[in-house]
Structure 1
Amino acid sequence: MKWMKYVAIGALLSVASGGFASDDIAETPQDYGWGRALATPESSPWYRVSLPADVYRQSAWPDLRDVRVFNHQGERVPFSLEKQKTATVALPPTELRIFPLTTSPVESTNSDDLQGERVWLRSSSGYEIKLESGRVDGVGKSYLLVLPENSAGSISVSQLQLGWDKPAENWQGRAALYFSSDMREWGLLQKDAPLMDIASGDDRLTLNKIATALTMSPEGPRYLLLVFDTPTLPLTLNRASVVGVGDSSATRGENVSLSGWANRISADEVQYQWSRPQPLNALSVRLENDGVLPVALEWRASAEDKWQPLGKEVLFHLNEQMSDDIALPGQLVQGIRLTTINAHLPDALPQVSGLRESLNLIFNAQGNGPFILAWGNKAATDVALPLEGLIPAGLRQQHAPDLLPEAMAHEPVKLGGESRLSAVSPTEQASQWRTWLVWAVLVLGVLVLVWMALKIWRDIQKDNAA
């Protein structure tokens, strides 16, 4: 019986001492699933690394807490994670003045310097536009769009946004967009841009934006000409604005694109998934071939969650013009469900990519190279330093993060592999070990009690027999 008492006491002492075990166990590269060798072409106390897409896809944690840099001796070196930023930001929309135009019959021209066709477009305000080309028979309802009279400076226009009241009937058409500085010479900016306004029950889908790449200014191009493909429309244009980008002291983050793999469910539905949930701030949905496709989009945070509505969109791919990216709030997204509206999926499925903030890793080159970028460890904790703790303020002008030498991640390094994605941290291991040990002590105590009860029962049986 004494030996059982000693075992119980020893187990209890082990449980107690386990609570004081040190969790500060030195990490090694093999604690991580995957790695890349880092090439450092020039000597520097600090380097920056643009994280490869594989890091975002394979990280065990959405916040990338399991990213590390090790030196040649296998020691972890100090590092910081910083958002990649660009100095261009979206500017508020600039409202344009709208002048409806009437179209004259097409005229033929046979002068020595010009052969083709001509059409006159006139507004009630006195504006007069002459279009001449080899073929203008597609000219329909037209609008002259002009910068405000008090506009100053230039606008790098990325998009023209149009507005109209809800039409009485479904409508779908195309339009051409021209630009000019003097209303005499016109250049084609966009051809066959798709536009639509369709309703199905209580649902309404509008496509009222045209992507552009033009710098407008009072001294340069200040006129836009919007020409629809039909002479009559079931709607009247009453709003037009241009959205541009410009240089600003404010910055916005750059994104990395992560493709989702597709699973066609039916002729009308396809689902896209990522191997691990990603904090997406935008969604890119692209048609591979020319076409227009109205769709409803849904999302979920994990494979066990219910689908939640994201919105209805009109996807298009015409004349190298693509649908805009769809904004997301930065929540974790594991899957996207796409369902067509009054249409079937094309043979070539739409391509869906999630966009998340792109990060730069800045590390202090302690020890000898070559250095290794490592990631993929469920047991990892966040050890990244703030930039202030990595580069002293007095040196940050001389060693600005954006000007640091770039360490390039190149050939893969074989590390711990897929199993590290389910690794358990030392704290969790100690907790599990203590839990099992407590259960073992309890079971041992029960066995001791049973043994003692049996011993007493046997002694009673002997006394009765005597």
Structure 2
Amino acid sequence: MGKLSVAVLGLCTTLSVWAQETPADFTSQVQLNVSGSGPWYRLELPLAVQLNARQADLGDVRVFNAAGEPQAYALSRQASQRSESRNVTAVKWFPLYAADTQQALPDVVMKATTSGTLVEIKPSTAPKPGKQVLRGWVLDASAIKAPLQQLSLDWSREQEGFQRFSIEASDDLQHWKAWGDGQVARLSFADDRVEQHDVNLPGQSARYLRLVWQGQAAPLLTSAKLESATSSTLPMPLVWSQAFPGERLKAGEYSWQLPTGLNVERLRVELKQPNTLAPVTLSGRSDAKQTWQPLSNGLLYRLTQNGKDVVQDELQLPGQTVAQLKLQVDERGGGLGVEAPALRVAVRATQLVFLARGEPPFSLALGNASVKAASLPLSTLIPDYSPERLKALGQATLVGEITVKPPAIAALPEAGTDWKKLGLWAVLLLGVAALGAMAYSLLRKPPVAG
């Protein structure tokens, strides 16, 4: 029986060594540079690198050391929690006036109660004679304690067209931080009225918001609401792809093929021609064998207003895996032209954390449709894991561009892998035959006489 145990142990050792993955099993590789405190390092995976993967969930990503030994790693996307608590709160608004639509806002005095509730806004000095122009509004969000996710405005129905404004945030009414631009609209189109009331906010907390219209008077508000959300984790930022060319299927219908399946959360359609207006419906699927599934709809436009382009070229998506996209356009608005527009997609950024073992340099490899996912949970990879601990880890960065093997060279490892499998099966069958022969000989041996 001792020989039997040795044979089994040797067979298992041989299988383990032969079955171990090597960098040559992957089509794309790039060297990594590490800095900071180890032995754990975190790497932000650029989307250009992710596009070389052959599995939508990045199950074929690996990290190797200089000896070609795989490293333990974890993937973290920290996607937005769909079950987070969201609340919509109606807030008060206070007007801001100036002499004209181009002048900077004059100094104003803003008074708030001890609890922070805004009660009055007035000029710091007596206004000059003449008509004052309504330039914007200050919203009182002091009663909202959660991060602000979305702003919803309604205004006088007599005022149609686009309303574009800057958004600033403050906690003390003295120091203001830019939160980007917002745009709402009310348009008449094909005997219908198209309205856009919502503006996305950066998901941060603020007690007050200041909305300032540029180059035009502000409309009279009739409603202002803020949507807030409480979540235990913040989402990773979105990363955008390069532009993908499309194909025109027929009038008003276009399609795009992505390099691989991606969990798309937003897309941007290139609108080259000024004064483009296009109500659209977007569908997607993971491969050509599936039926198209509706993903989103909306109004895309690029219109010239006051000498400037007003652009809405993005659609929000649910984040499911898609490899093909199809856009159907209502051509009553003029369509998007004969040629398919270019398309960019955005996915949630992915962070890779690995435990460095062995000697550098380390390398990132990906591009193998047949390997199984090998990532660990962060709490397993880092026993005392916490979000604060994650931020303190060492950094890993890419050295140069990722190297992608040409198809002819990439096919060689597959042929080698087939021979490896044949050899593996041969060793396995020989081992089983040897074990069977040993067992048979033991059974055939006559019992020793007492």
- TM-score band (shorter)? 0.5 to 0.7
C-alpha change, 1:64 and 1:193, in structure 2 (3 Å) is: closer
Is 1:308 matched with 2:308?
A: no
Q: 1:258 pairs with 214, 222, 241, which one?
A: 241
Give 2:26's aligned residue. Answer: 32
Equivalents in 1 of 2:28, 2:160: separation in Å?
Answer: 50
Q: Which runs of 5+ in 1 are unaligned?
A: 1-20, 109-114, 117-126, 435-466
Distance 1:176 1:378 in 2: 47
Partner of 1:272: 256
The 5 Å alignment of 1:90-105 reads 92-97=87-92
Which of 390, 401, 404 matches 2:390?
A: 401
Match of 2:163 in 1: 175
Is the CA contact 1:299–1:333 (under 8 Å) kept in the aligned structure 2?
no
Structure 1 residue 67, shift from structure 2 partner: 0.7
Q: Deviations over 1:417-465 (max 9, x none)?
A: 54469959879967xx99xxxxxxxxxxxxxxxxxxxxxxxxxxxxxxx
Q: How does 1:137-286 map to 2 (within 5 A)?
A: 146-147=139-140, 151-152=142-143, 159-163=150-154, 172-175=160-163, 177=165, 193=183, 195-198=185-188, 200=190, 205-210=194-199, 238-243=222-227, 249-259=232-242, 261-265=244-248, 268-285=252-269
| CA distances 1:170-200 after superposition (whole Å, capped 9, x unpaired) | x95133658999x9xxxx9999945124465
SS in structure 1 opposite 2:246?
strand
Q: Structure 1 pair 213/289, CA: closer, same or farther in 2 (3 Å)?
A: farther
Query: Is the aligned partner of 1:76 residue 2:70?
Result: yes
Q: 1:284 to 1:158 in 2, by over 3 A?
A: farther
Q: 1:90 & 1:228 partners in 2: Cα distance? A: 38
1:293 aligns with 2:277: yes
- Is 1:61 paired with 2:55? yes
Between Structure 1 and Structure 2, whose CA radius of gyration is higher?
1
- In structure 1, what is the equivalent of residue 382 of structure 2? 391
Identity percentage of aligned residues: 25
Deviation at 1:371, TM superposition (A): 0.9
Checking the alignment, whether the CA contact within 8 Å between 2:246 and 2:342 is kept in structure 1 is: no
Please state how far the C-alpha of 1:384 moved relative to its aligned partner: 1.6
Alignment of 1:364 with 2:355, yes or no, is yes
Contact 2:297 2:315 in 1 (8 A): no
TM-score between both structures, scaled by the size of structure 2: 0.62
The CA RMSD over aligned residues, in Å, is 5.5
**Residues 78 and 358 from structure 1, CA distance in 2 versus in 1: closer, same or farther, beyond 3 angstroms?**
same
Mark the CA change 1:43 to 1:355 in structure 2 (over 3 Å): closer, same or farther. same
Q: What pairs with 1:100-115 in structure 2 (closer than 5 Å)?
A: none
Secondary structure of the residue aligned to 1:60 is: coil
The alpha-carbon distance between structure 1 residues 249 and 399, as it changes in their structure 2 partners (threshold 3 A), is closer
**Structure 1 position 340 matched with structure 2 position 329:** yes
Is the CA contact 1:147–1:223 (under 8 Å) kept in the aligned structure 2?
Answer: no
Question: Where does structure 2 lack aligned partners over 5 or more consecutive residues?
Answer: 1-13, 105-119, 427-450
Give the 3 Å change call, closer, same or farther, for CA 331–311 of structure 1 in structure 2: closer
Distance 1:348 1:241, change over 3 A: farther
In structure 2, the residue corresponding to 1:54 is in which secondary structure? helix
Cα distance in 1 between the residues matched to 2:210 and 2:401: 53
SS of 1:400's equivalent?
A: helix
TM-score, normalised relative to structure 1: 0.60
**Who is 1:52 aligned against?**
46
| Cα pair 1:268 1:343 within 8 Å, conserved | no
Cα distance change, pair 56–223 in 1 and its aligned pair in 2 (3 A): closer
* Matching residue's letter, 1:263: G
Q: Rate the CA distance shift 1:217–1:300 in 2: closer, same or farther, 3 A.
A: closer
Contact 1:78 1:385 in 2 (8 A): yes
Question: Relative to structure 1, is the Cα distance of residues 205 and 420 closer, same or farther in structure 2, using a 3 angstrom cutoff?
Answer: farther
Aligned twin of 1:328: 317
Q: CA separation of 1:338/1:45 partners in 2, compared to 1, >3 Å: closer, same or farther?
A: same
Change (3 A) 1:98 1:404: closer
